[in-house]
């Protein structure tokens, strides 16, 4: 009887992904895990380029607009590591959507003198355009916006000059408007028998639920699955293996999981808080912590990745990309873990989480729903990262240290390496 209820619940879910691209509706999508960049190219939108397929160069940058329940939000996406399921019920704006050779956008006009081969230019333009959609940026904000856009021709001097010209001449941009249906309450989507790469993906099933109970129902029917939030790590793995897990659960639309609270000296962070959102919260509410984490994130990934990658996902990654892991180990973090078998929540000491590269001690049916960390005393907290590149690179080794000093004496110390 219970299995029948689970089956009926899954059958009643939405079976269609809906994406608007440059104002045009697309709802004939058969593979929710297809890269957005591939989908754009297959539909004639070839202005968005693809190079690295791992979110490292920025040439594939587009803008995503979505309803957060109160207002429209705009952010950049790296389309080469963004599966279509993460674009469901959102608007995507590509370079074709802001102007063309007959009627170029002012930002496009300015960049016409800042490119040589031009392959990277659409990514730069979309990064700046997205920044303008959130309010007129200053030149420092524009430089941050393009910190994940790589140009192998110009040496960047001419691009830096153009940023100054844009700041002077472009006061505002025409912001894309969301269709009314994109502002409706999100409904769980379940896509079965994905049509991608022939037999290799036959019977692949992807769900993007809104509640933990829906995930439990899915697992009860299909067994273990691959969890995904921002998608950056999953899609990079896809590049190397060229195979997607049979069952994928995107938790990107779970309700009530975007919270950040500092209460009685304890930081509480929900499962879907992105690294950028965490940094912006600290900037407004905790200047000391902001100064520390801003220095950490200035050499962590790119602005584009930090807008999609979640704090919890980065901790769970347990790899050379997990800069947050040693920091929150040093702070004595407690993980909030939900068993999707028993639906019971338990506390897990973060020190016990790592098992090996990309592996944890949690069960396959456990889900990290958030974490808590002592945040009342950040004195004596240090972080150092060694990487092959100065910026936007995974670490060779990283370390976080927390010293408790009384007078001239170190009373306690915790040193963590990643």
d(CA 255, CA 136): 31
Per-residue confidence band for 202, with pLDDT thresholds at 50, 70 and 90: low
Mean pLDDT of 196-205: 61
The stretch 276-298 carries a mean pLDDT of 95
Is the predicted pLDDT of residue 4 greater than 60, yes or no?
A: no
pLDDT at 392: 66
HEC states along 153-190? CCCCHHHHHHHHHHHHHCCCCCCCCCCHHHHCCCCCEE
Confidence of residue 1 (pLDDT cuts 50, 70, 90): very low
pLDDT digits (tens, 9 = 90+) for 292-328: 999 999 888 899 999 999 999 999 999 888 999 999 9
Summarised one tens digit per residue, pLDDT across range 42-100 is 999 999 999 998 899 999 999 999 999 999 999 999 999 999 999 999 999 999 999 99
Q: Are residues 66 and 200 in the same domain?
A: yes
pTM score:
0.92
Q: Is residue 340 part of a domain?
A: yes
Question: How far is the C-alpha of 145 from the C-alpha of 343, rounded, in Å?
Answer: 40
Q: Give the pLDDT confidence of 121-143 residue by residue, as tens digits.
A: 999 999 999 999 999 999 999 99
What CATH number has the domain bearing residue 149? 1.10.150.120
Please give the mean pLDDT across all residues of the chain.
91
CB 149 within 8 A of CB 124: yes
Domain boundary among 169, 191, 226: 169
| Helix-, strand-, coil-residue percentages of the chain, each rounded to 5 | 35, 25, 40
The three-point CA angle 163-169-173 to 5° equals: 90
Better-predicted residue by pLDDT, 307 or 358: 307
Residue 3: is its pLDDT beyond 70?
no
CB 175 within 8 A of CB 133: yes
Give pLDDT, residue 242: 66
CB 300 within 8 A of CB 358: no
Q: What percent of the chain clears pLDDT 90, i.e. is strictly above it?
A: 76
- Residues of the domain holding 371: 260-378
Cα distance between residue 288 and residue 172, in whole Å? 33
Q: Tokens 């958030």 — which residue?
A: 370
* Interval 376-414: pLDDT, tens: 989 999 999 887 776 666 778 989 999 998 889 999 999
Contacts of 348 (CB under 8 A, 6+ apart): 334, 335, 336, 337, 362
- Cα within 13 Å of Cα(405), Cβ side: 9
Burial of 28 per CB tally in 10 Å (0-12, 13-18, 19+) = exposed
Residues 280 and 373 in one domain: yes
Determine, yes or no, domain membership for 108: yes
- Is 344 within a domain? yes
Q: Write the CATH number for 41.
A: 3.10.20.30
Beta strands 226-228; 260-263: pairing state: unpaired
Is 90 found in the same domain as 193?
yes
Q: Is the pLDDT of residue 340 over 90?
A: yes
Share of the chain above pLDDT 70, in %: 93
- Are 11 and 110 contained in the same domain? no
Q: Tell me, what's the pLDDT at 10?
A: 62
User: What CA–CA distance (Å, rounded) separates 276 from 78?
Assistant: 15
197-220 average pLDDT score: 83
Q: Is 57 left (phi over 0), alpha (psi -120 to 50) or beta?
A: alpha
- Is residue 78 located within the same domain as residue 109? no
* Dist CA 214 CA 62 (whole Å): 31
Q: How confident is the model at residue 239 (pLDDT cuts 50, 70, 90)?
A: low
On whether both 201 and 67 belong to a single domain, the answer is: yes
CB environment 232-263: b (16+ within 10 A), e (fewer): bbbbbebeeeeebbbbbbbbbbbeebbebebe
Confidence at residue 337, expressed as pLDDT on a 0 to 100 scale = 98
Per DSSP, helices labelled H in 210-354 are 212-222, 232-241, 275-285, 287-297, 303-308, 311-317, 324-330
Q: Which long-range contacts (CB under 8 A, 24 or more apart) does 130-133 make?
A: 130/63, 130/74, 130/75, 130/76, 132/107, 132/170, 132/172, 132/173, 133/63, 133/65, 133/74, 133/173, 133/175, 133/176
Do 157 and 197 reside in the same domain of the chain? no
Q: Are residues 155 and 243 in the same domain?
A: no
Closest of 247, 268, 266 to residue 258, by C-alpha: 268
Q: What is the reported pLDDT for 238?
A: 75
Q: Are residues 81 and 190 in the same domain?
A: yes
According to DSSP, the residues that pair with 73 across neighbouring strands are: 66
What average pLDDT does the segment 28-46 reach?
A: 93
Q: Given 216, 250, 284, which residue is the final one in a domain?
A: 250
- Does residue 192 share a domain with residue 52? yes
Residues 188 and 90 in one domain: yes
> Binning pLDDT at 50, 70 and 90, where does residue 199 land?
low
- Which pLDDT does position 395 carry in this prediction? 76
- 141 assigned to some structural domain: yes
- pLDDT of 109 > 90? The answer is yes
Task: Look at residue 154 in the predicted model and tell me its pLDDT.
Answer: 82
What is the domain count for the chain? 3
Residue 44 belongs to a domain: yes
Tokens of 408: 């001239």
Measured in Å, how far apart are the chain's first and last C-alpha atoms? 48
- DSSP alpha helix (H) spans, 95-145: 106-111, 121-133, 139-145
Helix (H/G/I), strand (E/B), else coil: 44? coil
293 and 271 within one domain: yes
Instruction: Tell whether 198 is covered by a domain.
Output: yes
């Amino acid at each position: 009887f219970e299995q029948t209820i689970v089956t009926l619940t899954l059958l009643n879910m939405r079976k269609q992904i809906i994406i608007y691209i440059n104002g045009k509706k697309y709802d004939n999508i058969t593979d929710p895990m297809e890269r957005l960049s591939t989908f754009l190219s297959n539909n004639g939108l070839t202005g968005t380029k693809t190079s690295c397929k791992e979110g490292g160069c920025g040439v594939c940058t587009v803008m995503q607009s979505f309803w957060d329940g109160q207002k429209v939000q705009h952010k950049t996406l790296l389309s080469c590591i963004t599966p279509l399921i993460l674009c469901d019920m959102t608007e995507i704006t590509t370079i074709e959507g802001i102007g063309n050779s007959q009627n170029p956008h002012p930002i496009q006009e300015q960049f016409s003198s800042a490119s040589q081969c031009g392959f990277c230019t659409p990514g730069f333009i979309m990064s700046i355009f997205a920044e303008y959609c959130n309010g007129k940026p200053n030149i420092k904000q524009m430089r941050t916006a393009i910190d994940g856009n790589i140009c192998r021709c110009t040496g960047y001097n001419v691009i830096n000059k153009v940023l100054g010209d844009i700041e002077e001449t472009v006061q505002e941009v025409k912001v894309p408007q969301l269709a009314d249906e994109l502002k409706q309450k999100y409904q769980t989507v379940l896509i079965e028998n994905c049509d991608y790469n022939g037999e290799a993906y036959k019977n692949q099933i992807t769900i993007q639920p809104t509640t933990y109970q829906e995930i439990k129902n899915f697992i009860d029917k299909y067994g273990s699955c691959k969890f995904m939030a921002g998608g950056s790590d999953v899609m990079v793995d896809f590049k190397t293996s060229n195979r997607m897990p049979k069952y994928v659960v995107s938790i990107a639309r779970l309700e009530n999981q975007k919270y950040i609270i500092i209460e009685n000296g304890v930081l509480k962070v929900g499962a879907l808080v992105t690294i950028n959102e965490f940094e912006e919260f600290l900037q407004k509410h905790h200047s000391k912590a902001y100064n520390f984490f801003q220095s950490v994130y200035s050499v962590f990934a790119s602005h584009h990745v930090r807008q999609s990658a979640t704090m919890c996902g980065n901790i769970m990654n347990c790899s050379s990309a997990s800069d947050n892991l040693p920091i929150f180990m040093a702070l004595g973090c407690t993980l909030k873990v939900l068993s999707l078998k028993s639906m019971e929540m338990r506390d897990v000491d973060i020190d016990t989480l790592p098992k090996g590269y990309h592996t944890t001690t949690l069960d396959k049916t456990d889900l990290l729903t958030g974490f808590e960390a002592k945040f009342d005393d950040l004195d004596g907290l240090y972080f150092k990262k060694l990487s092959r590149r100065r910026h936007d690179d995974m670490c060779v080794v990283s370390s976080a240290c927390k010293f408790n000093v009384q007078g001239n004496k170190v009373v306690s110390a915790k040193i963590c390496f990643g």
